[in-house]
Amino acid sequence: MTTEHDPLHQPAAPVVTEPTPDVQLQMLVRLIGQDPDAALPITLTVGGGHLSGDLISHEAWTAEWARSLRSFDGPGAQLLKHFPEEVDQAVADRQGRPGPQRLPQWIHLRDATAAAGTGRPVVMPLWRGRLADVAGWSLGKPA
């Protein structure tokens, strides 16, 4: 008997897998995206650490990000002035015109605090991350 036709002895084809975002979290992000003034306290598990903050819409994050970029001084600061609009235009060009609404792929937090291990927490005014990188989540922030 040869191993040519024996499926147990055939080399396995490589399997490529990519992280899949949690659909419930994607739906929550989409819901928050309906109101640029909405914010919801949330805690995420990302990269083995915890990240808590206020879940905000992409629109709110972009507006606050643009404001923060415009506050920079010094050489090159004027280059950042129109950067958010240029990013939005590049994304629109890449995705084409509006079609069926897809589930979001990114999550945005305001006043985020990252904690990993026994190190000191890191506080960030704005944070953006890929939903596929979120391993777990819960509503609310640690006390």
pLDDT in tens, 49-65: 999 999 999 999 999 99
Q: Nearest-5° angle of CA 7, CA 11, CA 17? A: 105
CB atoms within 10 A of CB 6: 9
pLDDT in tens, 64-79: 998 888 888 887 778 8
pLDDT over 70 at 1, yes or no: no
Percent with pLDDT over 70 in the chain = 87
Q: Are 103 and 26 in contact, with CB atoms under 8 Å apart?
A: yes
pLDDT in tens, 124-136: 999 999 999 999 9
Taking the model in full, what pTM does it have? Answer: 0.79
Higher-pLDDT residue of 10, 120: 120
Least confident of 27-31, 90-94, 120-124, 136-140: 90-94
CA 108 to CA 128: how far, in whole Å? 5
Provide the CA 4 distance to its chain's centre, in angstroms.
47
CA 79 to CA 63: how far, in whole Å? 17
pLDDT over 70 at 7, yes or no: no
